Amino acid sequence: MSIEQVISEWEGQVGCVGFDHETGAFFSIAIHSRALGPAAGGTRAMRYAGFDEALRDATRLAGAMTLKMAIAGLPMGGGKSVIALPAPRNELSEATWRRILEVHAENLATLAGQYWTGPDVGTSAADMDVLHERSGGFAFGRTEAAGGPGSSAPETAHGVHVAIHAAIREAGFDDLEGRRVLVQGLGAVGYDLAARVAADGARVIATDLDAARCERARRELGAEIIEGDAVLATPCDVFAPCATGGVITAGVAAELPARVIAGAANNVLDAPSTADALARRRIVFAPDFVANGGGGIHLVGREVLGWSPDEVAAHVEGIGTTLSEVFELARHDGVSTERAARMLAQQRFEAPIAAPAAPSASTGRAAPALAE
């Protein structure tokens, strides 16, 4: 897919791109919507086959962020930034990585509050410390030592855990005792989620590209470890994709041996229409932009709205209520849960939400949000 095709097929507001000759890194910031407030979305840093793929990732993820913020009732729009690295992150020197972060911070500063970022695949709270300092305050998710709320991973996992329980009730079983839960991806969110369902009495099945993570899950959680290529053929009660998106295609949906799908990965479906195939098989799908909203609630709640940790946790618990509304709407209208969630997000998108103040690029203090 060419860059021209990616942009021409995108329904967002604006895309910004750049290239750093010193490091060989490409940069993309996609702003999908600022209707509810400044666009917000994490910074993803990884290798891509080409910059067109990186830009496509940014545009798709930005759209998902618009839905995620709206359905969570947060006064932010949707955006995403993607850094296409010249080499795997673990092969970059610290000097190169620092340079990449500094260039990205300059990009954020140039947008002057139209877009705020946070951690995502390939970036951390410590990286947000650098971006926040160098951009003039347009990054959240900083470490506690730097004045931030710390990692959003625990609340993301919390939200997915809530989503799983809502989904299994919809599927007809009340708890996870003895149920097989397959967690794909054992990063900060995936491992936390695996630990939570293990504590519920579930039989954890897990996989990850990192052998050390798998061994830890086997040792600490009693997880059954499987190879990555066996994931979509392994029978389970709950499939929790917590790695990259696009896992569920129409072909996979027709044969996946699971009763529930609820995970932390963004854009789990290769296309919204794939949810129809899941619905035909009565597989309960918790749309990802609802299920994985805990991280956004944590970051926006703590750093934009001034919520306490307890208030954040209470709002994350609300993911279960939202999913109950989604399931009811899907039954009532005879549509997939993906379609129902988008309908509900649109309703909330159209409801008035007070926009937050954007931090001043020069002082970090509150300044009026940008007008449309």
- Binding-site annotation: residue ranges: 185-190
Point out the catalytic residue in the list 80, 161, 196, 259: 80
Positions at the binding site for NAD(+) = 185-190
Residues 361-371: b if buried by 16+ CB within 10 A, e if exposed: beeeeebebee
Q: Taking each helix axis from N to C terminus, what angle separates 309-333 and 153-171, rounded to the nearest 10 degrees? A: 30
Tokens 């989620």, residue? 193
- Please, which residues have CB within 8 angstroms of residue 226's CB and are 6 or more apart in sequence? 182, 205, 206, 207, 234
Crossing angle of the two packed helices 337-350 and 51-71, in degrees rounded to 10: 70
Q: Tell me the longest C-alpha to C-alpha distance in the chain.
A: 56
- Other beta carbons within 10 angstroms of residue 311's beta carbon come to 14
- The phi-psi region of residue 349 (left if phi > 0; otherwise alpha if psi is between -120 and 50; otherwise beta) is alpha
Active site residue 80: yes
Going by C-alpha positions, the residue among 214, 171, 170, 223 that lies closest to residue 195 is 223
Neighbours of 305 (CB within 10 A): 16
Beta-carbon contacts of 251 under 8 Å, excluding residues fewer than 6 positions away, are none
| Active site residues per annotation | 80
